Structure formats: C-alpha cells, structure tokens
Amino acid sequence: MNKKLSFSVSVHEEKLDDKTKVFVVEALELGISDFGETLEESMNNLRNAVKLTLEESPEKKDLLEREEPIMISRIFL
C-alpha cells in the first residue's frame, strides 16, 4: 500500500506593487511557495509546484510521508 503524502501549508496575503492583493502559500516541509489571486488558485498552483518538485526530486517524498498529524500554530505577543 502506498503511503499518502501530505504537507503543511502556510497562507498569508500580500499586496503587489500595483496594490493587487494575492494569497501566498508555502509548503513548509519543502520550502516551496506560490501565489494566486484567490485562495483556491494559490492552493492549486502550490499543488502543481509540489508535484513538479517531486517529479524532479523523488527523494523528497520522504519529507511528506508522515503518519502522525502535525500542528502548525501562530503565537501572538
């Protein structure tokens, strides 16, 4: 049975030079990021970027084969 691959995603908004807002998403385990005008577009772009990365560097799949859940949190001071 193949293990499912998963990765943690960080999402934030940025303004481009022309004041357009975009969603920037990052696959934390791989250090890959992408963006889009909508959250759905940015997530699809990130999925494609991760797939391309794994095609080029299949050994990186080891970073995404986790059985236990991982939690990402934000701490405010």
State the pLDDT at residue 76.
77
Q: Residue 52 is part of which domain span?
A: 9-64
State how beta strands 9-15 and 32-36 pair: unpaired
* Predicted pLDDT at 71: 67
What is the rounded distance in angstroms from the CA atom of residue 14 to the CA atom of residue 2? 37
Q: Is 70 a domain residue? A: no
49 is a domain residue: yes
Is 35 a member of any domain? Answer: yes
* 25 lies in some domain: yes
Residue 73 forms part of a structural domain: no
Q: Per the structure, how many domains does the chain have?
A: 1
Using one digit for the tens of pLDDT, what is the confidence trace for 31-53?
999 999 999 999 999 999 999 99
